[in-house]
Amino acid sequence: MQVSLADISTSHWCARHVAAIADFSDQTIPQASADLARTLLDGLYLWDMWPLQLPDGSTARRDGWTIWFILSSPAIPDPDLRHGLARIRLVIEKDGEWRDCGNALPDGHNPGSREWAGTSVLDPETGIVTLFYTVAGYPGEDPITFAQRLFQTSGTLKFADGCASIIGWSAPTESVESDGRHYMIVNQREGVPGFIKGFRDPAHFRDPETERDYLLFTGSIPNASSDWNGCIGIAEATGAGFSGWRLLPPLIAADGLNNEQERPHVVTRNGLYYLFWSTQRKVFEPNGPNGPNGLYGMVAPSLFGPYEPLNGTGLVAANPDNEPFQYYSWWVMGDLQVASFVDLIGVGTGPIVDDAAWRRAHFGGVPAPRFRICLDGNRAWVDQG
């Protein structure tokens, strides 16, 4: 049975929650080593990443390897421009060893100018992988735009000779369109990373209570009271095989507080629903309270809430004060391991310098060391063991 709109009430992440962030030592991610490797794949930057999952959200494995989808671009002189060249890369990992398997999608397959983040689900019986991802821009555009649409495509997983591939990709189809009512239609021509509006980052979730499929995504509230109008949106599948999606009202709104609640996803534990997202200090409303670059989250007794901020603030895991930009774009796996990428390292507490050479000298562009979080009701902390 489809969820009733009467059962959905948007929860709010508010200034008073963020203002309560004080001592977050229990939520601090271990500091990165100064000699953390800067290169994984020669000539490529790597950033937002997600594992191939089974429908229940657990991580899929083949011969002990996990299969990862990672945004990539050529290692250009200015890392900030990588978003305009992004392709999804297929990479496998086991015991800290990474192997490159090439671009996930064939050239010319994407109905946009770039491929941005999403999720991937494996049907264990058929071997079919469904990739939900963000189509940014339009084919052949010049200059590039920041238009965002949610698409999906499916292909068959092959694993041989120590590498993965996905063959026979279907024609990409738009999963669900923004309606301009609950979510802004994001077709802007210009923008700066961190300050664009959102209709992106589709994340599959199958509710264990109902076995229904949903997509969470980063959204922006239309007709908002503030330019800092981020939200976490949701769509429900009404047909078989991940089809017939319909938009529902946002699960969480941060109107007046924060512009971007990026890469939202849900993990269930002990009958509770934990909704996580990533955000940065720079995208909080400048005249209000702000929090560190980190993983944030809320918890609820059901998928549709009501949600309350974890730890009373929403903060789950933050970069250390003396390396506030070291990692970004966190993804909580089913076993509570957290994946992310190395962003700016070796910066310390000094200011960010608006210079391409400075960014290139400090940008990591590789997967970060994983850590684990602990959850207990409405409490969350970083496992320091």
Do 84 and 74 touch, CB atoms closer than 8 A?
Answer: no
Q: How far is CA 364 from CA 87, 90, 328, 378, in A?
A: 18, 19, 11, 33
Provide the domain count of the chain. 1
Total H helices, total E strands in the chain: 2, 24
Secondary structure class of 263 (helix, strand, coil): strand
CA distance 255 to 203: 22
CA distance 220 to 211: 28
Exposure string over 138-168, b if 16+ CB within 10 A, otherwise e: eeeeeebbbbbbbbbbbbebebeeebbebee
| pLDDT tens track for 41-83 | 789 999 999 999 999 999 999 999 999 999 999 999 999 999 9
Q: Which residues contact 207 (CB under 8 A, 6 or more apart)?
A: 213, 214, 303
Other Cβ atoms less than 10 A from the Cβ of 42: the count is: 7
Which pairs with CB-CB distance under 8 Å and at least 24 residues apart come from 235-243? Answer: 235/150, 235/175, 235/176, 236/2, 236/3, 236/212, 237/212, 237/213, 238/2, 242/121, 242/130, 242/132, 242/152, 242/175, 242/204, 242/213
| pLDDT tens track for 318-359 | 999 999 999 999 999 999 999 999 999 989 888 889 999 999
Residue 1 exposed, middle or buried by CB count within 10 Å (0-12, 13-18, 19+): exposed
High-pLDDT (> 90) share of the chain, %: 87
Query: Nearest Cα to 205, choosing from 264, 262, 250, 151?
Result: 264
CA distance 312 to 43: 43
| pLDDT tens track for 195-212 | 799 999 999 999 999 999
| pLDDT tens track for 121-179 | 999 999 999 999 999 999 999 999 999 999 999 999 999 888 999 999 999 999 999 99
How would residue 372 be classed by pLDDT, with cut points 50, 70 and 90? very high
57: which strand partners?
A: none
Other Cβ atoms less than 10 A from the Cβ of 6: the count is: 6
> Distance from CA of residue 171 to its chain's centroid?
24
Tell me the residue range of the domain where 352 lies: 5-382
The CATH code of the domain that includes 66 is 2.115.10.20
